[in-house]
């Protein structure tokens, strides 16, 4: 494993997160011992051959996470494209790295635009993003003023995508640790906890929401986005087999049923701020993600249904406060 994760520990030294360093180091060590990835060596080599800067100009407030090419940098654009493509599939974005536009499977900027008007200002806040993917949202969080944006995600390729960007930037508050939420300590410190697109992958949703609550300080804000189904407080779909061809989908509540769960767990000011039908414009195959995408996961004769005949993907964002 060639990626250096020390920047997070440096950044949070002498802060209220330092007390959790030993637990996090142990969790990281276990993660790497148990889950060596067959392609890590190849990815390390690819990453190490990529440009490294610390003076680039950047913009985190536009639809792309953009890192500009300094005039002084001589770059063979087509080789750089090939280097970045070593980390395909690129799912979350878009990105513009040194002039290369990475058109990702998802318009994650659309998701961000749906969420940001409804949450407390991130200015100066310590933010945790569970299942962050490749860290696209971490930079958007910094752009919105967060002082620390810690993301966790166990999928190794996303860590490499994050570092392809991070190695172009000066030291900053975005950090990605390759961990699963169940391996985190109950921090009780974060001002905002995001969990976008993860709940339906968890077998035990109530336990997962309790985990999320354990990371927040009292008065902190939970921003939960997940797949839902149309229906009332009693509606929950547990897909018997696959859902939209995904084998790891366990639990699709209605927004009302989810609100009820959050309230029952003691969260305050629980509100659904957005419900959105995912379209094949927002999630689609591109040159940077060439596998099947949403259009292939729907009923070809009736796009309001998934391929298995369930309601097609609908997403809700729910915001709540820890008492």
Query: What residue ranges bind ligand SAM (CB under 6 A)?
Result: 92, 106, 108, 130-133, 152-155, 158, 180-182, 196-198, 201
Token pair recorded at residue 42: 């190849």
CB of 132 to ligand SAM, least distance (A): 6
Question: ∠ CA 139-16-264 to the nearest 5 degrees?
Answer: 80
* Cβ distance to ligand SAM smaller for residue 149 or 152: 152
Stated length of the chain:
323
CB of 278 to ligand SAM, least distance (A): 11
CA atoms within 13 A on the CB side of 177: 25
Alpha-carbon distance 281 to 105, whole Å? Answer: 10
CB of 140 to ligand SAM, least distance (A): 11
Alpha-carbon distance 302 to 54, whole Å? Answer: 50
By C-alpha distance, which of 155, 164, 147 is closest to 130?
155
Alpha-carbon distance 48 to 40, whole Å? Answer: 12
CB of 283 to ligand SAM, least distance (A): 10
- Residue corresponding to tokens 């490499």: 160
* Cβ distance to ligand SAM smaller for residue 56 or 306: 306
CB nearest ligand SAM: which residue? Answer: 131
* Cβ distance to ligand SAM smaller for residue 98 or 226: 226
* Cβ distance to ligand SAM smaller for residue 66 or 108: 108
Token pair recorded at residue 218: 């009292």
CB of 272 to ligand SAM, least distance (A): 17
CB of 104 to ligand SAM, least distance (A): 10
Alpha-carbon distance 278 to 227, whole Å? Answer: 10
Alpha-carbon distance 206 to 184, whole Å? Answer: 17
* Cβ distance to ligand SAM smaller for residue 68 or 279: 279
- Contact predicate 248/201, CB 8 Å: yes
Token pair recorded at residue 234: 């009693």
Token pair recorded at residue 46: 């690819």
* Cβ distance to ligand SAM smaller for residue 201 or 256: 201
Phi, psi of 50 (to 5 degrees): -90, 160
* Cβ distance to ligand SAM smaller for residue 84 or 176: 176
- Contact predicate 310/231, CB 8 Å: no
CB of 152 to ligand SAM, least distance (A): 5
CB of 252 to ligand SAM, least distance (A): 13
* Cβ distance to ligand SAM smaller for residue 11 or 180: 180
């Amino acid at each position: 494993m060639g990626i250096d994760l020390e920047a997070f520990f440096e950044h949070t030294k002498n802060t209220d997160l330092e007390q959790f360093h030993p637990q996090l180091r142990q969790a990281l060590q276990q993660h790497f011992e148990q889950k060596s990835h067959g392609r890590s060596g190849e990815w390390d080599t690819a990453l190490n051959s990529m440009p490294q800067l610390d003076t680039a100009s950047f913009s985190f407030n536009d639809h792309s996470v953009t890192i500009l090419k300094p005039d002084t940098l001589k770059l063979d654009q087509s080789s750089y494209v090939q280097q970045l493509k070593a980390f395909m599939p690129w799912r979350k974005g878009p990105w513009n790295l040194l002039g290369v536009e990475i058109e990702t499977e998802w318009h994650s900027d659309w998701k961000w635009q749906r969420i940001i008007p409804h949450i407390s200002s991130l200015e100066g806040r310590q933010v945790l993003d569970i299942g962050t993917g490749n860290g696209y949202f971490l930079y958007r969080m910094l752009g919105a003023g967060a002082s620390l944006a810690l993301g966790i995600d166990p999928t190794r390729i996303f860590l490499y995508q994050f570092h392809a960007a991070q190695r172009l930037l000066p030291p900053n508050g975005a950090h990605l640790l390759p961990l699963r939420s169940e391996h985190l300590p109950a921090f009780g410190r974060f001002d905002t906890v995001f969990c976008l697109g993860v709940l339906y992958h968890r077998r035990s949703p109530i336990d997962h929401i309790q985990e999320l609550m354990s990371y927040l300080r009292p008065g902190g804000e939970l921003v939960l986005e997940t797949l839902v189904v149309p229906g009332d407080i009693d509606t929950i779909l547990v897909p018997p087999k696959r859902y939209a061809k995904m084998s790891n989908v366990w639990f699709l509540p209605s927004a009302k049923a989810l609100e009820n769960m959050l309230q029952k767990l003691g969260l305050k000011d629980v509100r659904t701020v957005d419900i959105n039908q995912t379209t094949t414009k927002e999630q689609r195959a591109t040159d940077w993600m060439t596998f099947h995408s949403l259009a292939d996961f729907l009923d070809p004769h009736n796009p309001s249904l998934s391929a298995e005949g369930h309601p097609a993907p609908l997403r809700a964002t729910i915001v709540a406060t820890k008492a």
